[in-house]
Amino acid sequence: MEAENVGSDGVVLVHPTCGPTQDDDIPGIVRYHTYEVLKEEVANPRINWAYLPYSMHMAGPREAIQHMIIRKNYGCTHFIIGRDMAGSKSSLTKEDFYGAYEAQDMAKEHSAELDVQTVPSLNVVYTEEKGYVTADVAEKEGLKVKKLSGTKFREMLRAGEDIPEWFAFKSVVNVLREHATTA
């Protein structure tokens, strides 16, 4: 949901978790610094930034419900929920423990009870022909989708490789690189 799409009195709360992460993930303090450069770059008075010093527990749908409650306590009326939110893989089989949309489905199921409207995040992809579009449009129109996983992104950062501009803001990449050299 973009700030321009909320009512005339509405604001968007960007409320990322910035606590401990998994060993192979970007540390919370580094995430915080990336959000600070984005905050400066976007500079929109209708966007409020607050940081949640909380570690992800990778509890899938149950964690999505917990996040909805936390955001409601911050005064939010809507909650954007991504595909596979807080998902995890089996330590034995490496298979996803939860289905890709289980968190969205559970959040929608409990939306009225929690008095928070869910806004499912659409699966957006980057295409050579049209830039960013939803995955269904790309498939329908036979567009060539460019992909870069989070794991591959982190590997490229650590190796000093160029990161495609369609994947990440240059300011964020610069922060990530600065922290990689000081670690």
For residue 102, give Cα distances in angstroms to 7, 56, 116, 124: 29, 17, 17, 18
Each residue's pLDDT tens digit, 86-131: 777 777 888 888 888 899 999 999 999 999 999 988 888 999 999 9
Q: Which two tokens stand for residue 107?
A: 């959040």
pTM for this one?
0.76
Beta bridge partners of 124: 134
Each residue's pLDDT tens digit, 14-45: 998 888 777 767 788 888 899 999 999 888 99
**Which parts of the chain fold into alpha helices (H)?**
28-42, 60-73, 102-114, 135-141, 150-159, 170-182
Domain ranges of the chain: 123-183
